[in-house]
Chains A and B, each alone.
Chain A
Amino acid sequence: MNGPQRLQGGRAPLRLLPGSLRRRAEGFADRHQSLSVIITVVILGLLLPAASQLPILNGFGHINDYVDGYANAGVFILLALGLNVVVGLAGLLDLGYAAFFAIGSYTYAFSASPFSGLALPFWPLLIIGAFVAAIFGILLGAPTLRLRGDYLAIVTLGFGEIVPIVFLNSDTYTKGTNGISGIYQPSLPAIPGLPAFDLPLIGHFNGTLGGSFGFGNPWPYYITVFAIIAVAVILLYRLQDSRVGRAWMAIREDELAASAMGINTVTTKLLAFAIGATTSGLAGVFNASKLAFVSPDQFDFTVSFTVLAMVVLGGMGNIWGVAVGAFALYEIQSVFLKQLTIFLHPLGVPVLSSIDFVQYQFLLYGLALVGMMLLRPEGLFPSRQRKRELLAELKGVDEAEPEFAPDEPAVTPEEPHA
């Protein structure tokens, strides 16, 4: 892989910028990849709440409602980033991704709630929850990743079904359907003596930083989740550009050839699977602490499929694309469809006024999955390299776009029944 591609992490968002500014920014991004990821996330993190105060949007809710929604969207961005490693990079279809989310959530619920009597601190548990999820990922992956790829889809689907059932039926340990409530909120050491000030568009800062996160205020969660996302994006770019990342992509393209090149396919796939599970577990811990409540029905198969739709829509294998896809889809399902329903009902149009659009979000996902795969398999925001590969495979290598870098291996179309 050549130089510029290795540093795509910083470059990708810069495509939005105009000419000369873009070239300069790209130069900076190439030199300081991690820093530019942080800068991008901070800018986006400031822009989002500000955008919700724009004249058209601010009618729909208070800024804190928006920020709360963005924090929830952040959870899905994390989930999508993790699943992207499994589906997008390694090419393994994981349909039980919510199981690891559930495991992370329950890990936190067991460790910091009145129900269990424990009150362990949030920050180390963030890591521990992720670790526990990773262990389950390895336990599930180790036997099944040796098999043909499509078996993995069905085993993970089964696993995704079993885990909520286990949490549901182990009443003694999980309170069954009622779920565990009153989970403790995260807290930070309070920093005294900060001045209160107003930020234009974004809101009022009252001078308190730190302490318990509490319920009424979504901002600490918002900042935390975007910080986690920034770290995750940096780590994922580093992984993707590393030897392991190249091994994942090699396996995705041709497992047999990859193993012939000396890649241990089982451990490499297992690593992808474990990293996906880790991210999901991390998101689970965060989500449990934010909602202060876990119950088995938060983790049914719809979560797994929603995240899959996010990854497919954003562009499999493209970190920024997947993040944008996740954010867009979350906002569509939680804000747009709801507002559309509220907006259309009073109009009195015969059919439209009786439809609850939120109910049909999965019709939308279904159409999106089929449509994307048929018309634009590289996703709405494709990674340049993945696009070339997918198109090459669909067209056959002869007709593939001639922009293959000389050091890039040509991809042969999969033999129909080789």
Chain B
Amino acid sequence: MDRRSYQGLIVPIALLVLAIADFIYLQPLQFINALTIGGIYALIALGYTMVYGIIELINFAHGDVFMCGSMVTMAMLTGLGFRGAIHQPIELIAILIATFLVAMVVMGIVGVIIERIAYRPLRNAPKLAPLITAIGVSFILENIIQAVVGPQQISVPQIMDPQSQVSFLGVDVSFVKLFVIFIVIALMIALQLFVGRTNLGRAMRSTAIDREAASLMGVNIDLTIALTFFIGSALAGAAGVVQGLYFGTTNFQLGFEAGLKAFTAAVLGGIGNTTGAALGGFIIGFVEVNATVLGYSRWAEAFTFTVLVLVLVFRPTGLLGQQLAERA
């Protein structure tokens, strides 16, 4: 085994050891909680990392896209007249599929519109300009939602009964959590297949590597970038649905913190690297749950940002390394 592949194994093995140690230390219930919360962060982080990978922009509005996704879920479920859990399996499945589809498509379109209006005209401008519009878009989204639904906590109908439990790994776990973990992993696999196996995915990867060369090879750059925004925002929309199903509550300021943590996750895993973003999301979930279990829940956010600063200082390419070339 040569040195390179040996080095590549260090990170996964260290993480595996840590995960096992954590599993022994934490209650299995908390372990599942960490996976669930981490899954939401991972979904949001995927959008950050895809957009950064392709146009090198920290899309500050992405957290708010996630928040809007949870609002769409709320609006749809409340509008359909649901108040609590649905107990008929077929109806439940149909409603779940419909909710995910609507939230993902709506947020995907919102993402494309944001890119078209706020980012595309500035693609060749100094780097500071799109960063500033991104912050502006984030404000606009938050305030529109605040104007529509108000500043208070808003409850989302929990159509999956939080009381219904299944036995998993020897403990009773609520069905919602397992479903969330399942849906997160399914979406990630779908994304990997799309990016890795389809022509559009190949166009995205080549645009990320060298935009001009890709366009010379016949890739439609504008379309590819719009597609990236669509997929990233749709994943954030899915995360919004998951937020609604799992926590049953949302708020117009939800996106700010979630976005910050998800970005941390993306950097932690290696920005531009979709596998890394997923991994980073789960790690952030574990950091938070561990902090809570240790009795430092008020410091959980501080821990997260400390992780971010430490990663940037000691391993700026992230745990799994960047897929894009490092530039000055």
Residues of A within 8 A of B (CB): 87, 91, 93, 95, 143-144, 147-151, 153-155, 157-159, 161-162, 165-166, 168-169, 255-256, 301, 305, 308, 312, 316, 359-360, 362-363, 365-374, 377, 390, 393-394, 396, 413-414, 416-417
- Determine whether B293 belongs to the interface, using a CB cutoff of 8 Å to chain A: no
In the bound complex, residues from chain A placing their C-beta under 8 Å from that of B144 are: 363
A residues near B309, Cβ cutoff 8 Å: 143-144, 155, 158-159
Enumerate chain A residues within 8 angstroms of B257, measured Cβ to Cβ: 161
Chain B, 109-132, contact with A by CB distance < 8 Å: what is the 0/1 string?
000000001100111111111111
Query: CA of A150 to CA of B324 in the docked complex: distance in angstroms?
Result: 15
A161 to B208 Cα, complex, angstroms: 31
A360 contacts across to B, CB distance below 8 A: 143, 146-147
Instruction: Find out whether the CB atom of B143 lies under 8 angstroms from the CB atom of A363.
Output: yes
Q: A369-B133, A374-B121, A417-B211 are in contact. Are A155 and B139 (CB under 8 A)?
A: no
Which residues of chain B in 268-304 are interfacial with respect to chain A, using CB atoms and an 8 Å cutoff? 298-299, 301-302, 304
Is there contact, CB below 8 Å, between B136 and A366? yes
Known: A363-B140, A363-B143. A394 touches B128 (CB 8 A): no
Contact digits for B36-72, partner A, Cβ 8 Å, 1 yes 0 no: 0000000000000000000011100000000000000
The secondary structure that dominates the B interface is: helix
Q: Are B312 and A87 in contact (CB under 8 A)?
A: no
Q: Is B327 an interface residue (CB 8 A)?
A: yes
User: Interface residues of B, CB < 8 Å — how many?
Assistant: 54
Cβ of B222 within 8 Å of any chain A Cβ, yes or no, is no
Check if A393 sits within 8 Å of B124, measured CB to CB: yes
Question: Known contacts A148-B326, A155-B312, A360-B146; can you find 6 more A-B pairs with CB under 8 A?
Answer: A144-B313, A158-B305, A161-B301, A169-B302, A373-B129, A393-B124
| Chain B residues proximal to chain A, CB less than 8 Å | 56-58, 117-118, 121-133, 135-140, 142-144, 146-147, 151, 210-212, 256-257, 260, 263-264, 267, 298-299, 301-302, 304-306, 308-309, 312-313, 316, 326-328
Beta-carbon contact of A369 and B139 below 8 Å: yes
**B143 and A159 within 8 A (CB):** no
Kindly provide the distance from the CB of B209 to the nearest chain A CB, expressed in whole angstroms: 8
B312–A143 CB distance below 8 A: yes
- A256 proximity list for chain B (CB < 8 A): 328
**In the complex the two chains form, what is the Cα distance from A93 to B135 in whole Å?**
11
> 3 tightest A-B contacts by CB?
A366-B139, A369-B136, A363-B143
Q: Is the CB of A255 within 8 A of B328?
A: yes
Taken together as a complex, chains A and B put the C-alpha atoms of A168 and B302 apart, in Å, by 12
- Evaluate contact between B260 and A369: CB separation under 8 angstroms: no
- Is B308 touching A414 in the complex (CB atoms < 8 A)? no
Majority DSSP secondary structure for residues of A touching B: helix
- Point out the residues of chain A lying under 8 angstroms from B136, CB to CB: 365-371, 373
Chain A residue numbers with a CB within 8 Å of B263 are 154
- In the complex formed, the residue of B with least CB distance to A417 is B211
How far is A76 from B35 in the complex, measured between Cα atoms in Å?
Answer: 43
Alpha-carbon separation in the docked complex, A414 to B256 (Å):
30
Can you report 12 A-B residue pairs in the complex whose CB atoms are below 8 A from each other? A91-B126, A144-B312, A144-B313, A161-B260, A165-B301, A255-B328, A316-B128, A360-B146, A363-B143, A373-B130, A377-B125, A414-B124
Please tell me if the beta carbons of B131 and A150 are within 8 angstroms of each other in the complex: yes
Q: How far is the CB of A278 from chain B (nearest CB, A)?
A: 21
